[in-house]
Amino acid sequence: MVRKIANFVRMLWTRRELIAEMTRRQLRDEHMGQTIGALWAFGQPLFLMIMYTVLFGYVYPARFGHQASIVQDYSACIIAGIVPWLAFQNLLFRAPGILVQQANLVQQIVFPIEVLPIKTAVASALPYSVALVFAIGYSAWHHDLSWWALSIPWLIICQLAAMAGVAFLLSAGAVFIKDMKEFVQIFTSVNLFAQPILFNPFVPIRYLHTLFYFNPFSYLTWCWQDALFHPAAPHAVAWVVFPLCSFGILTLGCWVFESARTSFGDAL
């Protein structure tokens, strides 16, 4: 595992300029011809954060209290959990088409196709950097930030590793499984409610909380909520499971991608 990750980091450094250029081009081309162009990539996540803030903070206040005089606002907890999920969801929508939609590049022997899943992972996450800044500011405004916020750079690294690993897996799988995109769409619709994002953290539902432990995305959510919501009792298990799963899925994704690489040309 360590060797795989070391080789991956070495490849990232070697191809860094190509990855940066292809990421910039993807963000630009998606909004080509529009009035404000690539700014839409960053404007849409910001709009979603404002909408969720108004919805959960004011229209349907996400508050709870055992007594009338004690009210706990957990809207910042919802915002903290939904930002990383939206970034991951953005990747999940794109990943099945990474190789299928760029068959001309895949069939070129000299082109380093391993760059395609990586640039897609980066391009999927980058627009949500604005949403993350908004979430940090919202948590600070609600006095929910603590020293756990110092872990945010580490969480970004872990999430990017997980997103790259999933991009490798889904892009390779979609070459051979033509229904992959439909499966992913169903999964993303269900998974929002199968992880602890929209639920009250002060009133855990017994059976539902048990279900969360079987969902790998729950550990991602718990870590981000710990970092941005000033937890009274941080989820210690999540801080072990999330990094291990992130780099484990990255290693698995690289191995599957490289193993299937020679068959991509024929399948496409």
In b/e form, how buried is each residue of 11-48, taking b as 16+ CB within 10 angstroms? beeebeeebeebbeebbeeebeeeeeebeebbebbbeb
- pLDDT at res. 24: 87
- pLDDT at res. 253: 93
Name the stretches of the chain with pLDDT < 50.
Answer: 66-71
Q: What is the pLDDT of residues 106-159, one digit of tens each?
A: 877 678 888 999 999 999 999 899 999 999 998 888 877 888 889 999 999 999
Euclidean distance between CA atoms 172 and 169, whole angstroms: 5
Q: Which two tokens stand for residue 121?
A: 């992972």
- pLDDT at res. 67: 46
Residue 235: name the closest of 157, 151, 160 by CA.
Answer: 151
- pLDDT at res. 43: 82
Instruction: Print the SS3 string covering 119-187.
Output: HHHHHHHHHHHHHHHHHHHHHHHCCCCCHHHHHHHHHHHHHHHHHHHHHHHHHHHHHHCCCHHHHHHHH
3-state class (DSSP) for residue 63: strand
Phi, psi of 12 (to 5 degrees): -60, -45
Phi, psi of 36 (to 5 degrees): -105, 10
Q: Where are the domains of the chain?
A: 2-267
Q: What is the pLDDT of residues 38-58, one digit of tens each?
A: 677 788 888 888 888 888 877
